[in-house]
Amino acid sequence: MSDRTIDRVAAATPPPVARKIRGLSDRAIAWIFVAPTIFLLLAINIFPLIWTIRLSFTNYRANRLTREPEFIGLRNYERILTDSDIWLNMQATAHFLFWTIFFQVLIGFTLAWLINKKFKGNDLWTTIIVLPMMLSPAVVGNFWKFLYQPQIGLFNYIVSFFTGKDPSSFEMLGQVNLAPWSIVIVDTWMWTPFVMLICLAGLRSIPDYIYEAAEIDRASKLRQFFTITIPMVLPFLMLAVLFRGIENFKMFDLVVQLTGGGPGSVTELTSINLKREAFEKWRTGYASAYAIILFVTVFGLASIYVKALNKVKER
């Protein structure tokens, strides 16, 4: 029996159809299988991207169907890049990104390291720790809104218990200096388990014999940690950072539920601002340019990061 793909496909197909496809080459049949996916990819990803690029050079508004869009060149890009309010949104996003990733990696790795130790109730603790990640961001947002409530919120009472401050003397969601941290805390609470799981996978992938060899060489625990554990978990950790970075760059629901971008605009991340421009102000052309700028930023940063990740893996 022939081992050609076409023959195997024909054998598994009803006779009338088999006769038709038996005349096709392997390459043709491969294209037939791949074509629907390519079509969907083009229709859902590539075409909208090209269309968005085109719209970004116009003053098109999706709520003014009767008004003919005009080509305005780079004006949208110029307005965005010279708008000080947008730079403030970028700063708010950078603050959120940096600190959430920092805390999630720090706490996530520590938790993974602890969970990786064999102790009684290990599985139960793992399940409890990953619970926040299973909740809907909208639910988490509302839930924490109550916790942060200055008069009845548990969070303020806990802080008050440890610091002696009056619980209603500070407002996590309402004060300019605290609100950016309030969203960092909630995102860290929710997504640290994700980082922990990835780190745990990394820790468990390290073969025991490497540690045994190090023990024989009389390497200290600290030395083992820095020369075996960290380097071997690093690719996993970098992957977690990549996932969380991309996710948090487009963070929307959690922050909208918690602060709505306020107070003022101090927690108005770029995704919230973009949504307002596109679907509340209906400046479609402007919002398209904004989206392209964000896309290029994320794509560029992610590309550099992936290259670094590959280098770490090769080591």
Partner 1 sequence: MSYSKLAAASAIAIAATGVASTAQAEDLTLCWAAWDPANALVELSKEFEAQSGHTMNFEFVPWPNFADRMLNELNSGGKLCDLLIGDSQWIGGGAENGHYVKLNDFFDAEGISMDDFAPATVYAYSTWPKGTPNYYALPAMGDANGWFYRKDWFARDDIKAAYKEATGQDLREPQSQKEMLQIAQFFQGREIDGKTVYGAAIFTERGSEGITMGVTSALYPWGFKYENTPGSYDMAGAVNSPEAVEALEFYKEFYETATPPGYTNSYMGESLDAFKSGQVAMAMNWFAFFPGLYADPATGGDKIDFFVNPPQNIAASTLGGQGISVVSYSDKQDAALEYIKWFAQPDVQAKWWELGGYSAHNSVLQDPGFVDSQPFAGDFLEAMDGVQDFWQEPAYAELLLAMQKRIHDYVVADQGTAQEALDKLIEDWTEVFEDEGKL
171 binds partner 1 (CB under 8 A): yes
Could you say which of 5, 13, 52, 265 contacts partner 1 (CB under 8 A)? 265
Examine residue 274 and tell whether it contacts partner 1 (CB under 8 A): no
Burial class (CB in 10 A: 0-12, 13-18, 19+), 200: buried
DSSP codes of every residue in 260-284: TT-STTTT--HHHHHHHHHHTS--H
Task: Kindly give the interhelix angle for 154-163 and 137-147, rounded to the nearest 10 degrees.
Answer: 50
DSSP state of 57: T
User: x/- site string to partner 1, residues 134 to 163, per CB under 8 A?
Assistant: --------------xxxx------------
Nearer to partner 1 (CB atom), residue 132 or residue 174: 174
- Does residue 173 touch partner 1 according to CB under 8 A? yes
**Residue among 163, 166, 164 nearest 153 (CA):** 166
Rg, C-alpha atoms of the chain:
26
Residues 21-60 that bind partner 1 (CB under 8 A): 59
62 lines the binding site for partner 1 (CB under 8 A): yes
- Give me the helices (H) in 148-283, please: 154-163, 179-204, 208-216, 221-224, 230-249, 253-258, 270-279
Among 183, 256, 269, 294, binds partner 1 (CB under 8 A): 256
Q: Which is nearer to partner 1, 174 or 245 (CB)?
A: 174
Q: Interface with partner 1 includes 253 (CB under 8 A)?
A: no
- Binding-site string for partner 1 from residue 174 to residue 213, where x marks contact by CB under 8 A and - marks none: x-x-------------------------------------
CB of 279 to partner 1, least distance (A): 7
Q: 296: burial class by Cβ within 10 Å (0-12, 13-18, 19+)?
A: exposed
Q: Is the dihedral of CA 160, 164, 169, 174 positive or negative?
A: negative
2 or 177, CB closer to partner 1?
Answer: 177
- 277 and 287 in contact (C-beta within 8 Å)? yes
If one asks whether residue 75 binds partner 1 (CB under 8 A), the answer comes out as no
Can you give the binding site for partner 1, defined by CB under 8 A? 59, 62-66, 85, 148-151, 168, 171, 173-174, 176, 256, 259-266, 276, 279-283
